[in-house]
Structure 1
Amino acid sequence: MPLSLLGLLVCLCATCNEARSDIYMYTDANGTPNFSNVPTDARYVLSLRTDQSMEPTKFAVHRSNGINLSQQKIFTPEINRVASIYHLDPALLHAVIATESGYDARAVSGKGAMGLMQLMPETARHYGASDPFDPGQNIQAGAQHLSSLLQRFGNNLQLALAAYNSGEANVVKYGDRIPPFPETAAYVPRVIGLYKRYQREVR
């Protein structure tokens, strides 16, 4: 990570006075960035400081006020159904939805992304979601999009999530690597962390 970007990441978080957790990163021999909040390899270096009190969705472009646990349970059957269609782990869809919208089916971002999986209008149209606020249509289109990104990037989950957050073109632009955007650098490990948690918790 360029020193200038690392400096920017530190400056963005310097004014926060609450408890923090750190995100570390190293770039492997293939040029792929690896992120962790619990570094187990000596190559990890501090990449981003984050506020432990922040809800998962506050790392994403599409922010909400938190996770609605009752809605999580309501949408679980549909998430399971769609996950089976596109051969995805339901826990991964839960992690993306929690990060993107906090299970708010009416969520709208400042950039115009809509619904549970925060579909941009062109993405919704591409995958046939005529009503992005309809939970079934939104989950199906978002899952299909995520599945397509996983195929595009050889089942590299980090790159697929980076593309979901920042756009496929940006991942390609940076040589099939996670783009050096502070938001994406926080988004990818946040979703992966939730994914691991939901693998244990969500039924």
Structure 2
Amino acid sequence: MIMDTRYQGLQFVSNMLLLLAIMLSTEHGWAAEWLLPIDELQTLAGAGNAQAQFSLGVAYEHGEGVEKLPKEARRWYCKAAAQGSVDAWYNLGWMYVNGRGVPRDDDIARYWLEKAAASGNAQAAQILDMIPGRRTARNGCAHVATLPWVQDRCEQLQCQGIVRLVEKLSEEYDLDANLVLSVIRFESGFNARALSPKGASGLMQLIPATAVRFGVKDIWDVEQNIRGGMAYLRWLLAFFKGDLVKALAGYNAGEQRVVQYRGVPPFRETRRYVKQIIRAYGKSTHRYDLRWLDADRVSPPLLSSREVQTAEAQPEG
């Protein structure tokens, strides 16, 4: 009887805390979106509405109207956070400080809570005073597509499917989804049947030699093509120790050319290619893991997906 009373008391406290969280969220202004049918909410979120994205994250976090899926909650919070949603910043911090569907990480929690606190969220400021952690550049959203142009570019379902697949695979390859999508944008324009005059194929424009090098058996299979391109990107990032400028130049012209010229080769196509992707992605470095250089992962360096095309090009004068 005592145990039952204690359990009921804990359950009451838990319910009150959840109610308080809902009241606080309503206070921040997402209640109107939250009242929408879930299919309308998903449509609005998919169209880029930050308020709907945050509300959809809440729905997935608590299993309201949809299956309870913490990773989906994080995905929509990340999208809303990229658009400046203070509520999404706070909820991401809350997820990471409590390990709610994600591994507990006080550093990532601090990243988001500091942003929320700086924007006037008093609860975030209070939590910051109670947790350890240090300032970090990691935010737990690297595997979510958040660049504004992705939303504008991928209105069709086929393109949206490519984005979701990249998000899924980017966690496996530890690559930023935004980087991979930027490469796909300039390699193939999201055309899965793209074929260059030199035989580079698919979304990530692989040539047969690169496909073989990274274990791609069907170069026209969308997932295999993306996997091959991502494996090569990871290898290049390890080879050039996170220098994205050199890694992208290697993807376009071949790592041997980058080594030969000690940087971006003096080819107009390569320089334009690197400049455009860096501008679209917004960064010039990326984390790397030297284990991707292991001989068991790839064979010795061969021609890149683009080296065949640039080998005959003349350096700019």
Of 260, 266, 272 in structure 2, the residue corresponding to residue 180 of structure 1 is 266
The secondary structure found in structure 2 opposite 1:104 is coil
Aligned residue in 2 for 1:75: 162
The secondary structure found in structure 2 opposite 1:114 is coil
Contact 1:116 1:135 in 2 (8 A): yes
Contact 2:189 2:203 in 1 (8 A): yes
What does 1:122-201 align with in structure 2 at a 5 Å threshold?
122-175=209-262, 177-196=263-282
Q: Which amino acid counterpart does residue 232 of structure 2 have in structure 1?
A: H
* Structure 1: distance between partners of 2:271 and 2:251: 13
1 or 2, which has the higher strand percentage? 1
Contact 2:182 2:280 in 1 (8 A): yes
Correspondence 1:87 to 2:174:
yes
Give unpaired runs (5+ residues) of structure 2: 1-152, 284-317
Residues 76-114 of structure 1, C-alpha deviations (whole Å, 9 max, x = no match): 121011111111100000000010001111111011000
RMSD value, Cα: 1.7
Q: Which amino acid counterpart does residue 187 of structure 1 have in structure 2?
A: Y
The secondary structure found in structure 1 opposite 2:237 is helix
Contact 1:68 1:104 in 2 (8 A): no
The secondary structure found in structure 2 opposite 1:100 is helix
Structure label with greater radius of gyration: 2
1 or 2, which has the higher helix percentage? 2
Aligned residue in 2 for 1:60: none
Q: TM-score, normalised by structure 2?
A: 0.40
Which structure carries more relative contact order (alpha carbon 8 Å, separation 6+)?
Answer: 1
Give unpaired runs (5+ residues) of structure 1: 1-66, 198-203
How far residue 68 of structure 1 moved from its aligned partner, in angstroms, is 6.2
* Structure 2: distance between partners of 1:140 and 1:131: 11
Q: Which amino acid counterpart does residue 150 of structure 1 have in structure 2?
A: L
What is the aligned-residue identity percentage? 43
Contact 1:79 1:93 in 2 (8 A): yes
Q: TM-score, normalised by structure 1?
A: 0.62
* Structure 2: distance between partners of 1:85 and 1:125: 20
Q: Which amino acid counterpart does residue 195 of structure 1 have in structure 2?
A: Y
Aligned residue in 1 for 2:299: none
Residues 123-178 of structure 1, C-alpha deviations (whole Å, 9 max, x = no match): 01111111111110001110010010000001000000000001111001112x11
The secondary structure found in structure 2 opposite 1:107 is coil
Residues 51-80 of structure 1, C-alpha deviations (whole Å, 9 max, x = no match): xxxxxxxxxxxxxxxx66423311112101
Q: Which runs of 4+ in 1 moved over 4 A?
A: none
Count of residues in correspondence between the two structures: 131
Contact 1:68 1:102 in 2 (8 A): no
* Structure 1: distance between partners of 2:205 and 2:281: 17
Correspondence 1:102 to 2:189:
yes
* Structure 1: distance between partners of 2:154 and 2:164: 16
